[in-house]
Structure 1
Amino acid sequence: MTDILNELSWRGLVAESTDRDALRDHLAAGPVTFYVGFDPTAPSLHFGNLVQLIVAGHLQRAGHRPLILVGGSTGLIGDPKDSGERTLNSKEVVAGWVEKIRGQVSKYVDFEGPAAATVVNNLDWTGTVPVLDFLRDIGKHFPVNRMLARDVVRNRLEAGISYTEFSYVLLQSFDYLELFRRHGCTLQFGGSDQWGNITAGVELIRRSTGDRVHALATPLLTKADGTKFGKTESGTVWLDPQMTSPYAFHQFFLNAEDAKVIEYLKVFSPRSAEEIDELAKATEERPHERRAQRALADDVTDFVHSRRAREAAEAAAAALFGRADLADLDEETLTGVVAEVGGGEVASADGELPGVVDVLEASGVVASKSAARRTIAEGGAYLNNEKVTDPDAKVTDAALLHGRYLIARRGRKTVGAVTIRR
């Protein structure tokens, strides 16, 4: 086994840990059984969860055994947020999301060999515990004054926090205790926003059994201005290709800032230190080439979706700006492009397709029909990369991509889409 803690550290994947030297010795003496948990609060994992899956992969390749927890019980409650109470989802909805996320996490760990992974659901043990036993055996170890001191609880006290969310830390701590008892799990990790919950589990095991276990937390990634990195203007970056298309996913990483792209490469890319150092030098000396951004976008999209999906996303980007044929894009890829670039719908009236001016306006690349006519006159209007020269022309069936889409462009860079509704 390599010194996996050093590997995680140089990649910027360790923000907090319990006794660092003791943890290093524990990992070196391995194999260690570790766990990381994901609550099903949506039908898909998102970009932020990917960091934890990458850490799990690093640890497994170093010979350690993953337990990937999908929170069938904690997902019914929800970890408290600074912004206010969560809306509770029904048991049926959460159960469905558990199965979807179980399938997602299974892509990122190996289920064979001496370090084979196991996916667990905390509803299996929490759902059968009588409430009195839980309060006596678990609640007894949680001083209320310490729970009130947690940042998120303190921030919520004035506006109010339900007992349901206040007690979430007990449930997550109970998970660590049960996995310690059932599987010999001695390491939990998660995002640094979970550090209070994670260390509470370490303390519960010490108080309940007298044993010493370990924890670490990964940093929350930020943009250069300190704001959270992980959302586009249209919202969360999901791992499910039906919720965030491979095209949008690839574009998101392609737009990483020069000041942060090397940091993101260390986290998300399997490239060596030498390769990343070379990309850092290229970014400093020739930032216009955006080599590091392309490497980042390619590596992460290959990892989450596939090389084929990434190549389709690259082909879509080229076609969108006139460097390839839009007609060559498959329907799934083009649908993702349309969703990402935005635009509108135009209904055909009595089977008659709209005029090019109506399409340009509906796509959003111009503000009005008069602006569309002006753009056409100036030679800057395109539909499906074909220059529009006649402002009175009508769209034809032959022009529709996959029978319903049109890509509009003004000049070289302003792009929109229209869906024809019949």
Structure 2
Amino acid sequence: MSILKRISIKSFPNHDQGIFIKDLVKLIETSEYKSDLINVFNIEAIKNQFIELPGATTLIENILTMEERVTKLDLVNTQLCNVRCKKITENSQAILEFTNVTNKDLIRRERSDMVYAETAYSVRQDYLNGFFDIDKYLSFLKKSNYEDLIEYNLDQLKKKTEDDTREYNFRLVYDEEGKLYTRAITSSAVYKDYNIGFSVFVALIQMHNLIENQGEKFKVDSLNLNESEISVVFRNLETYQFLDKSKISFALELTNDEIKREAVKFSGLYKISLNTSDITLKPDEGKANILSFKHSSKPKTVKDKIGELNVSIAEFISETIDDFKLIKNAKKPDDLRLNLIKRAKFAGDSDFKKYKSDIIKVLSIRVSTIFQLLEIVSKTETIFSDEDVQAKDFWRFKLYQSLIEDLKKQ
């Protein structure tokens, strides 16, 4: 679960037709890479240009609003001997105790160089399993109400790590009520803070280049955002005729997860637009990954990679658009439906499991045409909650497998 309530936007006001480049700079005001970005992208020379990207102002406003609601602080180069698990909470999180804190802002807020922060996201597992391989054991003790054994084991761990000088960065955040959380543990050697603002800034600058120099037209199609991660989909306005009155369009998805060590990613999606609904299909990681850069990359390297985006998009479309002809020619639509049910029924993804029965129920109606199949498949899009981004992505991949990959094998 998010520390703050997730923002999910699927429609944008008509008056939002884009944004001036000078207004994008607000995204990187507090970034340590601000001067680098301004230089490598030559922002001073183009600051008064307008990015014709409908929805962009709404996108930026929501990111800035989310950032204003929290205070993010990092404990950099923190030795493990200065970190201990103090206790396991009733909601199965861990309270981490940090000693000898040197972050002045954190000391000022806590009035001490000893700080306590509850774990969020995967930090409990990252700390207890990543360093000690003890998370499952402590979970068992907690479930069994063996509080004395939990305390004993945590005390022993503290003693065993008194001389552990390995260094990591612990990423902390205060929520709106002033509660402190540890939201991520990252490498202190190579990790660079390419945060949400950074990634959206460079994405929109390159979108501007695509629009200006390649004649492409995009709009912001959807936004899913919390304090630590973002997924924003830019839909290409060029469409390809499909079945009956349905159309296919390409979309570019930017994802950035500040709480993980993964790269910032640009992935390719396809949307099939029916009369009143859409279906999103996402190819496997190899095909969908249009471009990515690691958190260890230098800003100049990021610019060079982003500069390849137009070529990468063209390659993705040319390599996959013909696949959709297979759907049109499928002779047994109901077999595809049954195959989808099978994939849902036997899916092992933990985030997806709670949606299995609802999806199978939606897919229980027999179909005789591909269009009928697509209509009932489109209804599965509405089943997922905004929080379950991973589960939704998993299902979109399964749709691509069933409607594209399996047909290619026949």
TM range (shorter): under 0.3
Relative to total residues, which structure has the larger strand share, 1 or 2? 2
**Greater per-residue helix proportion:** 1
TM-score, normalization: structure 1? 0.24
